[in-house]
Chain A
Amino acid sequence: MRAALFLIGPVLLFLGLSYLLPFLGIVELSFTDPQPGLAQYQKVLTDPLTLSVIARTLRLCILVTLVSVTAAYVITLLWVRGSPLVRSLTELCIMIPFWLSILSRAFGWLAMLSNRGLLNSWMKHLGLIDSSLQMTRNEFAVVVGMAHYLIPFAIFPLATAMRNVDERVLTAADGMGASRGRIFWQVFLPMTRSGILGATLLVFVFSIGFYVTPALLGGGQSVLIAELIYLWIFQIPQWGMAAAMSVVLMLAVGGILYVLMRRYGEMAK
């Protein structure tokens, strides 16, 4: 078993020392800083400020998830079932933004939406508005930016599900005279259910611990959980609160992933 030690050991040792052990340190802090006990957790779950941040995070993340999965479904349809040319073009539209840095994408939205940005200039040119619309530093910008980042992550599970749809079932429905709409709503959509569920949970899990895009596009006006943790570390040091919030976040995400794996396990059977 010397081979096991040299092959499997190093990465476990590395992550154990640099990730698992420090995380236990965070858990310890959440129970001890500044006072021993459950005070930090009680504050995280009862303080009006943190509750409002948690509520805003949940509200925005649910909205972002709905927008992302719906948009992703429509474009995946074209990517998987379009003609070969359409498929290649759609793939470019998906992949180029996907591989682009998250910061460039957030900046792109600032360039698009800010007061002197593209959209405001166009609308002024066309005479639709007189003065600039405020479209950044608010929840609208956060939702747009997050959805833009997360749509590709919804596309991949949806594409897998759509590729697995048995062509013969669709042909059979078509042969028996079902209309196109009926084939989509009653045959195709239900057969991609597992992909929809996977995409929804994946996007939700990703969105809930999101820091960079909300911080840049929200401009400090709509603070989400992740930004609150950042503030508790670097602006108004409250390590215990940051730690307790992290543990709560980790448990929530762990719970969602557990449900996801259980559901997929059942579907695989």
Chain B
Amino acid sequence: MNRLRPGLVATLLASLVALFLLMPLIAVVPVSFTARRYLSLPDGHWSWRHYEALFSDPDWGHSLLTSLQVDLLASLLAVILATAFCIGIWMLRPRLAGLMTGVVLLPMVAPPVVSSLTLYFFLTRLSQWNSIIAYDKLGGVVVAHMVMIVPYAVVVLMVALSQVDRRMDLAAQSMGASVPRRIFGVILPNLRFGLLGAFFLCFLLSWDEIGVTLFVTSVETITLPRRMWMGLRDNVDPAIAALSVILILIVTVIVVLRALILLRRARKAG
């Protein structure tokens, strides 16, 4: 078998690709410690000023709060809508199920810029009628994020539902359980990991969402990615390097932890 493992050339090339993937993550670390106000490397003098700026500047804290509000609300609502939809398709198996699923998945496959334009058009029109779900308002951003993340929740939940044993639901049905009873008593408890996974994915996508957010916000509702964008576009602000280092640390810890848990589980099983 060992003969069929990747050889020296393949390993070398793959290492180059791995290096390429990690390169920008490595590059932000020294930049985050520069003492200057612009993108540069620290020349002998390392400074924490950009980390301090992140915590002392109220704008960053405010954006963090906006992001958390938008992301939690959008993820929660998106998962609820997606769960109802998936359970409906799974239980009732309507004709046109394929078409309906296709419609729901549309925002995932459409080019992001087209979705952005569409949602911008939608929210500016709504602004004439109300000031909650509107352009540059919290409610509007929540709706825009929901549109973009609902398809991903549907995909995760469809996969999770395909693992649920249909016979359990049929047993409940034949013993006279009503539809709500079947959903809350049988299906949802069996779906809890799928729900958790869908919520987690939605939150992550919403946390990172910038393409659409850029179109539907301007000065009032500024999420964290939107503020990063402003710092990147106008004059490259090293505070973004500091923030990126923090984000890299968080992601690394989560990914490594997950890998370790999977490894332990595999050891136990094997």
Contacts and interface: CB of A to CB of B under 8 A. Distances in A.
A23 B118 contact: yes
Contact of A108 (B13, B18, B244): B244
Contacts of A170: 4
B147 interface: yes
B236 A114 contact: yes
A58 to B, nearest CB: 14
Given A15-B150, A75-B14, A216-B233, A81 B4 contact: yes
Interface stretch (B55-63, B163-171, B188-196, B254-262): B254-262
B118 A26 contact: yes
A97 to B, nearest CB: 5
A249 B111 contact: yes
Contacts of A82: 5-6, 11
Q: For the complex, would chain A's binding face be called helix, strand, loop or mixed by DSSP majority?
A: helix
A12 B232 contact: no
Nearest to A76: B14
A209 B150 contact: no
Contacts of B110: 209, 250, 253
Contacts of B214: 211-212, 230
Contacts of B81: 10-11, 14
Given A7-B88, A114-B39, A174 B247 contact: no
Interface in B107-156: 107, 109-122, 125, 143, 146-147, 150, 154
Contact of B84 (A10, A91, A95): A10
Residue of A19, A29, A106, A246 with highest tally of chain B CB at under 10 A: A19
Given A15-B106, A74-B10, A112-B24, A103 B113 contact: no
B103 A15 contact: yes
Q: For the complex, would chain B's binding face be called helix, strand, loop or mixed by DSSP majority?
A: helix
B114 A209 contact: yes
Contacts, number: 271
Contact of B122 (A4, A22, A105, A107): A22
A118 B10 contact: no
Contacts of A107: 24, 28, 228, 232, 236, 240-241, 244
Contacts of A23: 114, 118
Given A12-B103, A103-B210, A253-B109, A74 B114 contact: no
Nearest to A104: B244
Contacts of B111: 205, 208-209, 226, 246, 249-250, 253
Nearest to B31: A111
Contact of A19 (B106, B109, B241): B106
Interface in B73-115: 81-82, 84-85, 87-89, 91-92, 94, 100, 103-104, 106-107, 109-115
A211 B249 CA distance: 26
A170 B6 CA distance: 13
B22 A93 contact: yes
Interface residues of A, number: 84
B172 interface: no
Given A81-B6, A116-B39, A148-B20, A15 B107 contact: yes
A212 B28 CA distance: 18
Contacts of B228: 101, 103-104, 107
A247 to B, nearest CB: 8
A96 B103 contact: no
B7 interface: yes
Contacts of B159: none
Given A100-B248, A104-B244, A148 B21 contact: yes
A95 B255 contact: yes
A229 B112 CA distance: 11
Nearest to A19: B147
A77 B8 CA distance: 12
B247 A101 contact: yes
B69 to A, nearest CB: 18
B27 A117 contact: yes
Given A19-B107, A97-B21, A14 B118 contact: no
B121 A26 contact: yes
Nearest to B41: A121
A180 B121 contact: no
B25 A92 contact: no
A199 interface: no
A156 interface: no
Interface string A72-100: 10110110011100101011111111011
A82 B11 CA distance: 9
B88 A246 contact: no
6 contacts: A11-B150, A94-B18, A95-B255, A104-B240, A210-B113, A212-B210
Closest 4 pairs (CB-CB, A-B): A108-B24, A209-B111, A7-B88, A22-B122
